[in-house]
Amino acid sequence: MRTIDELDVAGRRVLVRTDLNVPLDRSGGTARITDDGRVRASLPTIRELTDRGARVIVCSHLGRPQGAPDPAYSLAPVAERLAELLGRPVAFASDVAGDSSVAVAGGLADGEVGLLENLRFEPGETSKDGTERAEFADRLAALAEFYVGDAFGAVHRAHASVADVPRRLPHAAGRLVIAELAVLRRLTASPARPYVVVLGGSKVSDKLGVIRALLPTVDALLVGGGMCFTFLAAQGHGVGGSLLQAEMVETCKGLLADAGGRIVLPTDIVVAADVAPDAPTTVVAAAAIPDGRKGLDIGPESVALFAARLAGAKTVFWNGPMGVFEMAPFAAGTLGVAEAVAAIGDGSADALSVVGGGDSAAAVRTLGVDEARFGHISTGGGASLEFLEGKTLPGLAALDA
């Protein structure tokens, strides 16, 4: 895969597809970025290109607007934060590939940066209509002379800016994409053992592909979050009012039978009547969740069990929280697992701990665990999982063409 080292960018317009899909808090009347991790992750590529004299046109999506401009999903606050972090002005286009974008792109001098408005304000970005998508890709590609793909969190999407524009321009992968691939390849090509994977999140169906792909290769697969209740049901336990995918129970029975004891489930659960920040909680055995109570976190015994299985591991991949970590009564399980995963790097210089993006990365930052203690925090949860499943990712295929 070509890298930006192979592009002669001085004085040239370079369209850089980044992933600036950051969480915003709009409660105070103005949008405030609550986690700028993805903005920071975009900086190395942007800085290197500007230092080499490129005229950098940054583009990204934010949220899921319905193919039309929506102020709630504007990238304007991101433009301000990007300028602060870069220490230089960022010209902001009020559209995606229209008159304002043409003016911003054409007005950049060497080493300057512009940011286009939210790509998903254009229906062609995500359209399944090939003609509509191609028309938008043509307009977007016309803004630049080179394309750099650096939005690892979007490479699993067959969207115009990810999969179509690089086929219209000389292209290369940015530093973030190259770094992400280097780490994920270590997880798939003879990982150092013991190799332990921790999976959480809501639904078994969302992780089924990666479970099937990883199960033959891991030494232990630790399952928490909402998805653990379908596995507990597969063992014959009642789960009260906990999240349950009844249609996946038989599938989970098969996975447990095939795993030979390598799937490790929680032994105790934090339960409450409701999901609320002030909900009274109790800890019960995983096999004895009362009717009318919802399992909302793994319990302290389970945290100790998971930490013991993680201790001494040489390779760890973690994707998905252990509970509703955004609320204090249900955060201890995710924090405990985060600390146990972080400890892998503390204890061994040759061990690799990878946080697989998405809610797991958000939890690390929200719960105050030092990011430097992890070997790698991915910017793409879905992309990481699909890569580990062995799927062809449209954005990577386009960059490799």
Which residues are catalytic, by number? 38, 203, 358, 382
Per DSSP, the three-state class of 389 is helix
Nearest to 230 by CA among 210, 261, 254: 254
Amino acid type, 400: D
**CA atoms of 148 and 222, how far apart (whole Å):** 37
* CA 32 remoteness from chain centre: 20
Asked if 356 contacts 384 with a C-beta cutoff of 8 angstroms, the reply is yes
Question: In the structure encoding, which two tokens stand for residue 312, read together?
Answer: 């001494």
Per DSSP, the three-state class of 376 is strand
Nearest to 273 by CA among 241, 297, 300, 299: 241
Q: In what helix (H) or strand (E) does residue 386 lie, and over which residues does it extend?
A: helix 381-389
Asked if 31 contacts 23 with a C-beta cutoff of 8 angstroms, the reply is no
Q: Reading across the β-sheet that carries 90-92, which strands appear in turn?
A: 90-92, 113-115, 55-59, 13-17, 146-149, 171-173
Pairing of the two strands 171-173 and 146-149 = parallel
Nearest to 323 by CA among 376, 378, 286, 350: 286
Q: What are 16's strand-pairing partners? A: 58, 148
**CA atoms of 105 and 205, how far apart (whole Å):** 43
**CA atoms of 92 and 280, how far apart (whole Å):** 47
Radius of gyration (C-alpha) of the chain in whole angstroms? 22
Question: 194 preceded by cis ω (within 30°)?
Answer: yes
- Write the DSSP assignment of 62-117 as a string of letters: -S---SS--GGG-SHHHHHHHHHHHTS-EEE-SSSSSHHHHHHHHHPPTT-EEEPP
Query: Is residue 190 left, alpha or beta, with left meaning phi > 0 and alpha meaning psi from -120 to 50?
Result: left
